[in-house]
Amino acid sequence: MAAEGSNSIDALGQFQLHPALGAIGGSVNFTQSNLMMVIASVAILAFLYLGMKPRAMVPGRLQAAAEMGYETIMSMCVETIGGHEGKKYFPFVFTLFFFILFGNLMGVFPLFFTFTSHVMVTLALSLTVFILVTVVGIKEHGLHWFTYFVPQGIPKALAPLMVTIEVISYLSRIISLSVRLFANMMAGHVMLEVFGSFIVMLGGLGLLGYFPAALSLGVNTLLIGFELLVATLQAYVFAILTCIYLHDAVHLH
Amino acid sequence: MKKLGTMKLSRIVPLLAAGLLMLPAAAKAEGMPQLDFSTPLTLSQVVWGAIIFIVLYIMLSKTGLPMVASVLEERATKIAKDLNEARAAKASADAGMAEADQATAKARAESQSAINAALEEAKKAAAAQAETLNARLEKQLHDAETQIAQARASAMSAIRQVATETAVTVVSRLTGATPDAAQVDSAVGSALAARGLG
């Protein structure tokens, strides 16, 4: 990144992985990224367990939030994938959505690592979705599933070209799904880091630097709000695209 | 405004500094750390991530989500039950209302018929009374007429006698001779007949 004399801004260092949980974690290559995944998972489970514990007829705040999360994802599944199948894949979509959402949101907190900013993690997630969608498609339709790559009503001469394009677009889902999430999260955190560094550097310049430093702080405040939006939006996009892909696999167009 | 800014700054700067210090000194790797495959951590996090994700999926699908589903279902059942109860209550209220309406209509019809019957009876009684009164009046009238006719008949028969006697008396006074009774009688009879009194 841009180096400014001796005070270089290390915008990418925040994505560096290092072992967590001391010597035991180090011996099994357990990273701080995985620690955040565990914290996210525990938070999700706690959200549901503690939220639903009262089992109230008229829900309190936390219970209402938990129910809203449940019903939002449920309606997304049912409306996008379709009634019966939607309910079938609902737990997977729910897990996916909240895993990414909590990973994204917790990453906005200072000192917290954002595991969704690692392309390998998002690639693993999108590969999971891709493999699931393909397996579901073949299981539902057998060999007929391959007609998915042949658009209807095209001239025979164009078929090879169209099929090639369709296959490439199908395969590119892996990349688009993973890179969209990873790039959004990484870009946001780089921006936060850069402006955060500005605050420190300009603030260190003395009286002259206070105003631009305060400006950078203002920008960072706005950026954090924006990051919250992006975090939620990207989790939603990942989940809804998964639903759309599942719909295609179940219904073939 | 500026004071506020500096106050926030003084709070955030140590945080940021700590964050930067937390990073290892050798963190400034070339290129993106996400694509640094020289360290096994880049791929090992995926393996751990998969394990964590699968555990989370199992926990959610076996316990967390059914918990929410059961609460939602319970509520839906309760609401449906309450709604049904309310509907039943409304139905019974409607039935009661209809019954009351029916009873009112029946009572009205009964009272109307009672009124009609009483009216009919009163009319009949009045008619009967009027008839008896009429009959009595008729009889009285008839009696009176009979009496009048008798009186008239007796008066008529008296006329002949009076006329005969008067004629005899007049003739005997005028002439001094007593007229023939049969002759006088026939003359009176023809005179009475000529006046329509015979």
pLDDT at B152: 87
CA dihedral sign, ordered A89, A93, A99, A100: positive
Walk along chain B (198 residues) and give the pLDDT tens digit of each residue.
344 444 444 554 444 444 444 443 334 445 788 888 888 888 889 999 999 999 999 999 999 999 999 999 999 999 999 999 999 999 999 999 999 999 999 999 999 999 999 999 999 999 999 999 999 999 999 999 999 999 988 888 788 888 888 888 888 888 888 878 888 888 888 888 888 765
Q: What are the beta bridge partners of residue A66?
A: none
The rounded mean pLDDT for chain A is 90
> For residues A125 and A96, what is the distance between their CA atoms, to the nearest angstrom?
8
Nearest to A70 among B44, B63, B68 (CB): B68
Phi, psi at residue A93, to the nearest 5°? -65, -40
**In chain A, what residues touch B33 (CB-CB under 8 Å)?**
12-13, 15-17
SS3 B171: helix
pLDDT at A238: 96
Residue B82 has a CB neighbour count (10 Å cut-off) of 10
pLDDT tens per residue across span A39-68: 999 999 999 999 998 888 888 899 999 999
Question: Lowest-confidence range among A77-81, A123-127, B67-71, B156-160?
Answer: B156-160
pLDDT at B10: 52
> For residues B93 and A39, what is the distance between their CA atoms, to the nearest angstrom?
57
Higher-pLDDT residue of B29, A32: A32
> For residues A40 and A96, what is the distance between their CA atoms, to the nearest angstrom?
12
**B14 to chain A: nearest residue by CA?**
A200
Across the range A106-115, mean pLDDT stands at 90
Across the range A138-151, mean pLDDT stands at 88
Predicted confidence (pLDDT) at residue A234 exceeds the cutoff of 50: yes
Residue type, A73: I
Higher-pLDDT residue of A153, A74: A74
Higher-pLDDT residue of B94, A28: B94
pLDDT at B6: 45
Q: Give me the interface pTM, i.e. the ipTM.
A: 0.90
Hey, is the C-beta of B7 within 8 angstroms of any chain A C-beta?
no
**In chain B, what residues touch A119 (CB-CB under 8 Å)?**
34-35
Residue type, B127: A
CA distances from A18 to A15, B16, B24, B121 (A): 10, 19, 9, 115
**Interacting residues of B117 by C-beta distance below 8 A, sequence separation 6+:** none
**In chain A, what residues touch B63 (CB-CB under 8 Å)?**
49
Angle value at C-alpha A22, between A17 and A24, nearest 5 degrees: 105
SS3 B1: coil
Hey, is the C-beta of A87 within 8 angstroms of any chain B C-beta?
no
Asked if the Cβ–Cβ distance from A38 to B52 is below 8 Å, we say yes
CA dihedral sign, ordered B181, B183, B186, B189: negative
Substitution target in B23, B62, B68 with the highest count of A β-carbons within 10 Å is B68
**In chain A, what residues touch B61 (CB-CB under 8 Å)?**
91-92, 95
Dmax (CA) for chain B in angstroms is 200
Asked if the Cβ–Cβ distance from A99 to B53 is below 8 Å, we say yes
pLDDT at B20: 44
Question: CA of B9 to nearest chain A CA: how many angstroms apart?
Answer: 8
